[in-house]
Chain A
Amino acid sequence: QKEVEQDPGPLSVPEGAIVSLNCTYSNSAFQYFMWYRQYSRKGPELLMYTYSSGNKEDGRFTAQVDKSSKYISLFIRDSQPSDSATYLCAMSESGAGSYQLTFGKGTKLSVIP
């Protein structure tokens, strides 16, 4: 069993839809959870950073962490064509500067105008 599982998609939605992206994990020591957006042939860009369980909202993006279920989600409201990218979840046992991030494979999202 891989440490982090993420449905690779592809996922195609109409503009304005609510998008739900998810990851599950097996390592109960993970405490820091991130979502990245990666455009084709570019480095990943940090979207959301969450510590432990709970919700975090930033504009159209909401990140949820349920440590009891080892499940994290990213919701995108009012999706736009510019949101079309690959979304990667990542997690680590320790916080900033420490180091090892474990990534999911990424979900490729297309938002159709």
Chain B
Amino acid sequence: GAVVSQHPSWVICKSGTSVKIECRSLDFQATTMFWYRQFPKQSLMLMATSNEGSKATYEQGVEKDKFLINHASLTLSTLTVTSAHPEDSSFYICSAGDGYTFGSGTRLTVV
């Protein structure tokens, strides 16, 4: 079945720095990938839809200049959290392909 790989699984960064998270489809090509954010004891919330070769589509309330998405190939999408702040600390998860297969998630802690 489809496998989605996410890296890193856990990252700590200092406030004001940027962090890049990678989402890869390992055995299939994905023209579309999705980025979600999950706060403790909360639902997964869709942040943006990443489209290969074009601009990402962001959900209402998500700052596109803060959460930069690049989908440069059919197997890789990246999410860069720019000028991270403690309130950006969360669990970030991507999905790809059919939209129902998720990566293992990245826990971001901003200190």
Contacts and interface: CB of A to CB of B under 8 A. Distances in A.
B43 A105 contact: yes
> How large, as a class, is the contact surface on chain A?
20 to 34
Contact of A100 (B6, B46, B101): B46
> How large, as a class, is the contact surface on chain B?
20 to 34
With most chain A CB atoms within 10 A of its CB, the pick from B10, B42, B100, B105 is B100
A97 B93 CA distance: 17
Interface string A38-65: 0001111110010000000000000000
Contact of A44 (B44, B46, B49, B97): B44
B103 A43 contact: yes
Interface string B78-111: 0000000000000101000111111111010000
Interface of A: 4, 8, 34, 36, 41-46, 49, 88, 90, 92, 96-106
Contacts, number: 57
A45 B102 contact: yes
With most chain B CB atoms within 10 A of its CB, the pick from A49, A92, A100 is A100
Contacts of B49: 99
A101 B100 CA distance: 8
Contact of B104 (A43, A92, A96, A106): A43
